[in-house]
């Protein structure tokens, strides 16, 4: 395929696996490789069909506009929406900012309360903190030890002045799938019982769309955020689902030519939009097959590691999205673990916070001990991951964890039967 290379397959040399060339890629929550079919669909709009989709007076504009309309329909079809409800943005971060700040500011005269969870993506949490600096009140709901939100705690947090509830569909660090339909029904029933307007329900679905079935009408979702590069599309493009009936009212972040229903001004980048549309079309057609294959590879990874390595904790709900596996390795320092696995592209949490040496705030919200949060690895499995790569990763993890534990005095004490939790360490 044009410009596309699969990851190198593991080779055996003297009984030991190794990788030739680039590392094995298991960081699909950070980004996914572009599907070659997406690139093929985009290429004409990067070369000869370069018209501005807002130019209505000639064929160049018409053909670009037609391609954008077709892509909008593909996005809508994937989530069970009307194509007129789709607003193109630069990605999920912009969509989240636009939706959260836009709804809050439009309704600020009467409703200045927002509810979200402690395990949201940083762009949601930072948008909420910005609103707090502007005089809004935000409730950050805790989550259960498996990462799920408590519906009873959500109901208890609702207030007559709550304008928005924002809860992520699939968590980017632990893969937990939130009960979106049940959350929406909770908001509806609470509003009816109290005789007040229902808060808008927003979900950051960047890690969910194209991977698990999403239907905005069936799930009662009012606004939603989508990102192309999480579903084998190009970077720099995403979408916001903004329900028109009943209408969601929000203030735009970007003003200008009034494109995208006036919610997101600026020339729509036709090649990127075409890529997003094609990625959504493929995802809808192949979602079941992708999910089944990713599930098999995920189980192969978990079984292989747990068979060979003791003292492992799986973080999050085991019933979550199988392509996101988060494991903590006791008595191993996380940074040393990552440094020793340079032939495998992994992360210890969100790509947006991986530069920090602080343990994952998501794992801490689950109640994980700080040392276990520090020693966690996130394995992202996707459409192009192979069995050979999974087998090599299992072998490398086994080798590295065993070696690091052999150098750990804590591991030695545990092997001798000492309960290190009861040790009184001297202070210096």
> What pLDDT sits at residue 349?
62
> What pLDDT sits at residue 351?
46
Which is nearest to 111 in space by CA: 187, 197, 201? 197
- DSSP sequence for 134-187: TT-EEEEE-B-TTSPBPHHHHHHH--TTEEEEE--SB-TTT--B--HHHHHHHH
Q: Which residues are catalytic?
A: 352
> What pLDDT sits at residue 378?
95
3-class DSSP state of 17: strand
> What pLDDT sits at residue 13?
38
Neighbour order of strands in the sheet with 86-89: 86-89, 238-242, 223-227, 200-204, 162-166, 113-117, 137-141
> What pLDDT sits at residue 4?
42
pLDDT tens, residue order, the chain (428 aa): 334 454 555 444 344 455 557 999 999 999 999 999 999 999 999 999 999 999 999 999 999 999 999 999 999 999 999 999 999 999 999 999 999 999 999 999 999 999 999 999 999 999 999 999 999 999 999 999 999 999 999 999 999 999 999 999 999 999 999 999 999 999 999 999 999 999 999 999 999 999 999 999 999 999 999 999 999 999 999 999 999 999 999 999 999 999 999 999 999 999 999 999 999 999 999 999 999 999 999 999 999 999 999 999 999 999 999 999 999 999 887 778 889 999 999 988 644 444 455 678 999 999 988 778 888 999 999 999 999 999 999 999 999 999 999 887 777 777 767 776 666 655 54
Domain 38-282 CATH assignment equals 3.40.640.10: yes
- pLDDT, one tens digit per residue, over 239-259 is 999 999 999 999 999 999 999
Q: Which residues contact 141 (CB under 8 A, 6 or more apart)?
A: 115, 116, 117, 118, 149, 150, 153, 154, 157
- pLDDT, one tens digit per residue, over 171-189 is 999 999 999 999 999 999 9
> What pLDDT sits at residue 90?
98
Cα pseudo-dihedral 183, 188, 192, 198, rounded to 10: 110
Radius of gyration of the chain (CA): 23
Instruction: Give me 139's structure tokens.
Output: 């409730």
Cα of 428 vs its chain's centroid, Å:
42
Domain boundaries 11-34+287-418, corresponding CATH code: 3.90.1150.10
- Where do the structural domains in the chain lie, given as residue ranges? 11-34+287-418, 38-282
Q: Render the burial of 90-100: b for 16+ CB within 10 Å, e for the rest.
A: bbbbbbbbbbb
């Amino acid at each position: 395929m044009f410009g596309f290379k699969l990851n190198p397959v593991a080779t055996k040399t003297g009984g030991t696996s190794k990788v030739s060339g680039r590392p094995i890629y298991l960081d699909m929550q950070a980004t996914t490789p572009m599907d070659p079919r997406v690139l093929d669909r985009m290429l004409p709009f990067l070369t000869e069909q370069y018209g501005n989709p807002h130019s209505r007076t000639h064929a160049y504009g018409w053909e670009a506009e037609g391609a954008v309309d077709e892509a909008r329909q593909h996005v809508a079809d994937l989530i069970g929406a009307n194509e007129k409800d789709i607003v193109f943005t630069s990605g999920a971060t912009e969509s989240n900012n636009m939706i959260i700040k836009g709804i809050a500011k439009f309704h600020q005269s009467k409703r200045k309360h927002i509810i979200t969870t402690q395990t949201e993506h940083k762009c949601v949490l930072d948008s909420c903190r910005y609103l707090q600096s502007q005089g809004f009140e935000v409730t950050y709901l805790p989550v259960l030890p498996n990462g799920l939100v408590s519906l009873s705690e959500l109901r208890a947090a609702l207030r007559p002045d709550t304008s928005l509830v924002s809860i992520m569909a699939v968590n980017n660090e632990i893969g937990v799938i939130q009960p979106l339909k049940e959350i929406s029904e909770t908001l509806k029933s609470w509003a009816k019982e109290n005789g007040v307007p229902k808060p808008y329900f927003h979900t950051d679905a960047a890690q969910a769309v194209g991977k698990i079935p999403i239907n905005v009408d069936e799930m009662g979702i009012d606004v939603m955020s989508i990102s192309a590069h999480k579903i084998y599309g190009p970077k720099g493009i995403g979408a916001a689902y903004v329900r028109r009936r009943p209408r969601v009212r929000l203030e735009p972040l970007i003003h200008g030519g009034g494109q995208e229903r006036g919610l997101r001004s600026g020339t729509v980048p036709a090649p990127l939009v075409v890529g997003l549309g094609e990625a959504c079309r493929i995802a809808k057609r192949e979602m079941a097959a992708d999910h089944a294959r990713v599930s098999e590879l995920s189980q192969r990874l978990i079984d292989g590691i747990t068979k060979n390595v003791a003292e492992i904790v799986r973080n999050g709900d085991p019933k979550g999205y199988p392509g996101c596996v988060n494991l903590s390795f006791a008595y191993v320092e996380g940074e040393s673990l990552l440094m020793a696995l340079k032939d495998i592209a992994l992360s210890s949490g969100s790509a947006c916070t991986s530069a920090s040496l602080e343990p994952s705030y998501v794992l801490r919200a689950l109640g994980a001990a700080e040392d276990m949060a520090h020693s966690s690895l996130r394995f992202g499995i996707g459409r192009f991951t192979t069995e050979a790569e999974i087998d090599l990763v299992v072998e490398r993890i086994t080798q590295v964890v065993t070696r690091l534990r052999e150098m750990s005095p804590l591991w030695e004490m545990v092997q001798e039967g000492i309960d290190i939790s009861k040790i009184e360490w001297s202070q210096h």
